[in-house]
Structure 1
Amino acid sequence: MEPCSLGRIEEWSGGCRKRGDAGIMLSRVHTDSRTVQPGDCFWALSGASFDGHDFVEEAFRRGARAAVVARPIDGLSVPADAGLVVVADTLAALQQFAHRYRRALPAKIVAVSGSSGKTTTKELILNVLRSRFPVIGNAGNRNNQIGLPLAILDFPPEIAFGILEMGTNHPGEIACLAAIAAPDIGVLTNIGLAHIGFFGSDEAIAEEKTALLAALPPDGWAVLPDGDPWIRRRVGRCRARVLWVGSGPEASWRARQIKMREAGIHFLLQGDGEELPVQLRTASRAVVTDALLAAGVGSLAGLPAREIAQALEGAVYPGHRMEIRTLPDGWVIDDSYNANPDSALAALQALMEFPKGERKGAVLGSMGELGAQSTELHERLGRSAGELPIAFLIAVGPEAESLARGAAAGGLPEERICRCATADEAVRELHALRRAGDVILVKGSRFLGLERVVEALM
């Protein structure tokens, strides 16, 4: 963040300064008292299991020059010259302050959302744009109503582009995040069944995701995959100009001759009047669409096709996302970071397409946040796995029985199906089942910690 005065924090947060000179200069905003450094402003957020007001004294002991609070802190031991701004709601004030800070930035803001592939798409866009521009994105899990405003406040004024991933698992969150970020360009990766337990229907998920399109200004851009039926149905919500990517006649960027190789996905990138070969270091065909979306954003920024292709080839992906890992005696397709019904089916397809290996096996973990449809969706995934020519299936987690039942219904013999409660159990079963030359897919929701299975194999 560019250094900011206490008076500006008072104005932009809609608060009231109770202590301290308006000219006090503050280096950063922090919501965790443990990370406060001298010259910072401590923002006292409250949640279901914590209250930042309990840590105001600690923040000042660590060198904070000011704090934003929602209630008086009389009686606390704070420096005599400390600044204090009181607001009605510290989270709402943080979001308002971040929005005003964003409006003061000259940078273009690119927002990325979708049911899956958000982080990979964000990283691809960053790699494409940084070949020419100063650019920064939100890191880790800073894609929610607390993390995203803090990420915006970390944007320095000299950047040309800020790339913001936006996550959601409850209705209304994307609209809120888009209102804070005021994006110039919106990117939707897809609309699937992720978090359907919180939304109730695919209609509701589509409504939530396309709230990003509704938030774009008329002079902005939406970069969209032309093969997603829900995006097609809801694109009318968008007032901005639309750049399509994919395979249809409207697509500005296309991929031809997509092939799986041991090193990853290879394809020919078509756009800007050129056709160029691109090798992606991932086992996921879905990432081809993510790459086309990044190419679309790059073209809007004025980058030529050859520069875009080079940047896509050089991209490094977040760990545990369709990562091809070579063992001394086989391969692992590591997609252990997370899972939903659509991404799990895509991962199974990638396993079948992988050009190496004598046998194919799968470790499939339970998928979270599917609500009342969980059992049905797990059985459906298991059936899809059982219909494939896989050597074995290890089902893990609370829905292991549903996965196994579906796999048996799909035709996989019972003796080749294992049910495990935990990742550690899966490791033991896998050591007993696998052979030299096998290719193993590891896929499941984050709460299971299936990366431990991958680590055990490595």
Structure 2
Amino acid sequence: MIALTLTEIAAAVDGALHLAATDATGDTVVSGPVTTDSREVEPGGVFVAKPGEFDDGHRFAPSAVERGAALLVVEHPLDLPVPQVVVADSVQALGALATEVVARVRAKGRLKVVGVTGSNGKTTTKNLLRGILERAGVTVASRKSFNNEVGGPVTMLEVTDETEFLVAEMGASGVGEIARLVRMARPDVGIVLKVGLAHAGEFGGIEQTVRAKSEMVTDLLPTDVAVLNADDPRVVPMARVTPARVVWFGLGEQADVRATDLVVHARGTEFTVNAPGEASVRVRFGVLGEHHVMNALAATAAALELGVPLAAIAEALGEVTLAERWRMQVMGGRDGITVINDAYNASPDSMAAALKTLAQVQQPGTRTIAVLGEMSELGEFSGEEHDRIGLLAVRLGISQLVVVGPGARRLHISTVNEGSWDGESAYVETADEAYDLVVSMVRPGDTVLVKSSNAAGLRLLGDRLGEWFA
């Protein structure tokens, strides 16, 4: 975090400064990292005590002090010998502090902010942008999937006076949440990747999901840029609700930044990037799957708007071998066996994309095995979407399906009911059963996909299979 006095911090978060039993004054400067996790506190840092669903961060304040916290942001005073700012709501205070810090850095004229949202691909696109922009200047980007009301501002608070680019991943489980993050960071470039059924159950339907994702671009300024997916019929209408200049990305001819001549193989994807005023460039992208090309195009469009040459962007993309752990992560290798671990998350769109990639990389004379778990948070759409994925697996000619867990059982039933298969789908209750079954059935040259929502826990199954066939 940038250096601020205790008085400035208290004013930014509308809190009361408590200095009893300390040697500090209102002019004492704090500049250490800000966190809500006492285990991550560094000497001179700020600990925000956040009440949680199952626990209360105030209980861990003594541990934060032991680790060297210079300031506590709390909802009630604690009997601890460290300065404290007492606020009504610590999460709101965290956001207010992030807003202040970003505004101060932006006022110096160096910082450019990119916001990224969408039902799928946020973390991948954020990571690609970080890899591209780091070559051009000091870059701060969200760690892991830090994209909510806590992770978002924690990331923003990492900016310093030297930061040139902030890439802020912005997720939501309801209307209004992205708008709050946008107001904190004030993006110069806002990206909307795709609007699908991921978390539709939480949002209350696809219309509410569209409304929430559009918050990325509705408050942009006319001098800002909205980077929109030209291939998504739910994203295209957002051009009508943003005052910003629109730049389109996609595979179709209507896109400003588009990919042509795609080739998908077991170790990555190759494509040609075309952009206005730029010579076309061939990219050898080490991330598996045609759907990740769209993320690369979104990152490319944003980076071009920030002044990065297309040749430099292509070079950066060519050095990416893994978008993120558990996202189309290629493992294995023994006896020509490939394991694709894509079980960090799953929506109908990403599940379909992963299955299509599995079918695309199949070599003649080899088999494909899909180990699939539940797609969670789909609400009323859950049953029909699991049915649809089961039918897709059949129609793509996937050699063998292993369905794991009660939440995904309907997927198995739909494949059996399709009638064109005879025993190619197996159902097991647990990941351990799935592991034993897959190990027993795999043959040299097979490609195994492991895909599920995070809650299903199959990412660890993917790791086990990858290690076994390493």
Instruction: State the TM-score, normalizing by the size of structure 1.
Output: 0.94
For residue 117 of structure 1, the aligned residue among 121, 133, 137 is 121
Code of the residue aligned with 1:259 in structure 2: it is V
On the 8 A contact 2:194/2:229 being kept in 1, the answer is yes
Distance in 2 between the 1:172 and 1:439 partners?
42
Higher mean C-alpha deviation, range 297-306 or range 30-39: 30-39
C-alpha separation in 1, matches of 2:219 and 2:76 = 33
Aligned to 1:289: 294
Task: After superposition, give the CA deviation of every residue in 1:139-161 in whole Å (9 maximum; x if it has no partner).
Answer: 01321111111111112220110
Contact 2:6 2:30 (C-alpha < 8 Å) held by counterparts: yes
Which of 74, 77, 90 is the equivalent residue of 1:72?
77
1:319 and 1:52 mapped to 2: Cα distance?
28
| Aligned residue number for residue 94 of structure 1 | 94
Distance 1:34 1:122, change over 3 A: closer
* TM-fit CA distance, 1:355: 4.6
Q: Where does 1:229-308 land on structure 2 (aligned, <5 Å)?
A: 229-271=233-275, 272-308=277-313
| Alpha-carbon RMSD | 1.8
The counterpart of 1:334, out of the listed 310, 333, 341, is 341
* SS across alignment from 2:264: strand
In structure 2, the partner of 1:400 is: 408
Instruction: Please give the per-residue CA displacement for 1:330-364, whole angstroms capped at 9, x wherever unaligned.
Output: 22222121111011111111111115361112111
Partner Cα distance (2:210, 2:392) in 1: 25
The amino acid that maps onto 1:351 is L
Structure 1 contact 396–423 (Cα < 8 Å) conserved: yes
Task: Name the SS for the 1:260 alignment partner.
Answer: strand
Code of the residue aligned with 1:354 in structure 2: it is V
**Whole-Å separation in 1 of the counterparts to 2:213 and 2:18:** 40
CA contact (8 A) 2:362 2:368 kept: no
Give SS of 1:282's match. coil
Does the alignment pair 1:325 with 2:363?
Answer: no
Deviates more, 1:115-124 or 1:368-377: 368-377
Q: Given that residues 140 and 155 in structure 2 are in contact (C-alpha distance below 8 angstroms), is that contact kept between their aligned partners in structure 1?
A: no
Q: Secondary structure of 1:210's partner? A: helix
Structure 1 unmatched ranges of 5 or more: none
Residue equivalent to 1:419: 427
Taking the aligned partners of 1:361 and 1:59, their CA distance within structure 2 comes to: 47
SS in 1 for 2:52: coil
Residue 171 (structure 1) shift:
2.6
Alignment match, 2:5 = 5
CA distance in 2, matches of 1:64, 1:138: 22
Residues 121, 34 of structure 1: alpha-carbon distance in 2 compared, 3 angstrom cutoff: closer
- 8 Å CA contact 2:147–2:169 kept in 1: the answer is yes
Aligned to 1:24: 28
How many residue pairs align between the two structures?
Answer: 453
Give yes or no for contact 1:423–1:450 (8 Å, CA) kept in 2: yes
Instruction: Name the CA distance, whole Å, in 1 between partners of 2:211 and 2:162.
Output: 35
Q: Secondary structure at the match of 2:363?
A: coil
Partner of 2:316: 311
One-letter code of the match for 2:326? Answer: H
Q: Is the 8 A contact 2:142 2:168 kept in 1?
A: yes
Amino acid at match of 2:36: T
Partner of 2:357: 350
User: What is the CA-CA distance between 1:36 and the residue it aligns to?
Assistant: 2.7
Partner amino acid for 1:246? G
Tell me, what secondary structure is at the counterpart of 2:235?
helix
Structure 2 counterpart SS, 1:380: helix
In the TM superposition, residue 399 of structure 1 has moved relative to its aligned partner by 2.5
Gaps of 5+ in 2: none
Q: 1:105 to 1:410 in 2, by over 3 A?
A: farther
Deviation at 1:244, TM superposition (A): 0.7
SS in 2 for 1:382: helix
- Offset at residue 249 of structure 1 (A): 4.5
Mapped partners of 1:445, 1:423: distance in 2: 13
Deviation, 1:412, is: 4.6
Matches within 5 A, 1:135-174: 135-174=139-178
Name which of structure 1's ranges 240-249 and 55-64 shifts more when overlaid on structure 2: 55-64
SS in 2 for 1:127: helix
Aligned AA (2:68): G
Task: State the shift of 1:250 in Å.
Answer: 4.2
Given the superposition, is the C-alpha separation of residues 183 and 369 from structure 1 closer, same or farther in structure 2, using an over 3 Å criterion?
same
Q: 1:282 to 1:173 in 2, by over 3 A?
A: same
Give the Cα separation in 2 of the matches to 1:292 and 1:38: 40
Contact 2:347–2:375, Cα closer than 8 Å, also in 1: yes
Match of 1:54 in 2: 59
Q: 1:421-440 to 2 correspondence within 5 Å?
A: 421-440=429-448
Q: Which amino acid aligns with 1:64?
A: A
Range with greater deviation from structure 2 (272-281 or 6-15)? 272-281
Q: Please state whether the residue corresponding to 1:93 is helix, strand or coil.
A: helix
Do structure 1's residue 385 and structure 2's residue 393 form an aligned pair?
Answer: yes
Task: Find the counterpart in structure 2 of residue 15 from structure 1.
Answer: 15
**Alignment check: 8 A CA contact 1:283 1:354 kept:** no
Partner AA of 1:96 in structure 2: A
Instruction: Determine if contact 1:341/1:367 at 8 Å carries over to the other structure.
Output: yes
Query: Is the Cα–Cα contact under 8 Å of residues 18 and 85 in structure 1 kept in the other structure?
Result: yes
Contact 1:331–1:438 under 8 Å retained in 2: yes
AA partner of residue 324 (structure 2):
P
Asked whether the 8 Å contact 2:77–2:84 carries over to 1, the reply is no
Cα distance, 1:110 vs. partner? 0.4
| Cα distance in 2 for residues equivalent to 1:288 and 1:423 | 30
Taking the aligned partners of 2:61 and 2:5, their CA distance within structure 1 comes to 19
1:207-259 superposed Cα distances (whole Å, 9 cap, x missing partner): 11111111322211111121110011232221111111124444221111111
Cα deviation for residue 123 of structure 1 reads: 1.1
Query: Secondary structure of the equivalent of 1:369?
Result: coil
Q: Deviations over 1:245-275 (max 9, x none)?
A: 1244442211111111232111111123311
Q: Give the Cα separation in 1 of the matches to 2:442 and 2:43.
A: 55
CA contact (8 A) 1:387 1:412 kept: no
Q: Which amino acid aligns with 1:258?
A: L
In the aligned structure 1, how far is the partner of 2:65 from the partner of 2:359? 57
What is the letter of the counterpart of residue 87 of structure 1? V
Change (3 A) 1:245 1:62: closer
Q: In 2, distance between residues paired with 1:187 and 1:90? A: 29
The question of whether the paired residues in 2 share the 8 Å contact of 1:109 and 1:161 is answered with yes
The change in CA–CA distance for 1:285 and 1:69 in structure 2 (over 3 A counts) is: same
Are the counterparts in 1 of residues 35 and 48 from structure 2 also a CA contact under 8 Å?
A: yes
- 1:39-71 Cα offsets, whole Å, 9 max, x none, are 223222212222223333443343333322222
Tell me which amino acid in the other structure corresponds to 1:224. L
Q: Secondary structure at the match of 1:229?
A: coil
Following the alignment from structure 2 to structure 1, what is the Cα–Cα distance between the partners of residues 280 and 102?
37
Which segment drifts farther, 94-103 or 442-451? 442-451
Q: Secondary structure at the match of 1:294?
A: helix
